[in-house]
Amino acid sequence: MKKSNLVTITCPSCGRQYLHAEIYITDEFFGKPNNISRFVDGSIDTFYGKSMDLNEWYVCDLCETKFNVKARIKFDTSLENEFDPIYRTVLKKPSITLAEE
């Protein structure tokens, strides 16, 4: 992975860098929702289980400072093109031909 694309968490005391997987526990971070109930329009009414937990604390491996980390997550959605223009086929205009005898 290119270092320019690297997302890190930095200790506010000494500057040591961490990757998200070193700080966050996957199941805690993403939660465990189940039995999701929705309204007719598709919006969520209720669910059981745990929601996402974006807050965590960690003790730095280098300077032993305890620090808090708060993740900010943004989910972007977009429509997927049904037909890729690379695979488009041009159809001929419909026509009728009669066989001559």
Q: Where are the domains of the chain?
A: 3-73
Tokens of 63: 């300077």
Longest dimension (CA), the chain: 96
Q: pLDDT tens digits for the chain (101 residues)?
A: 566 678 899 999 999 999 999 999 888 888 888 999 999 999 999 999 988 899 999 999 999 999 999 999 888 988 877 666 666 666 666 667 777 76
Overall pTM surpassing 0.75 (yes/no): no
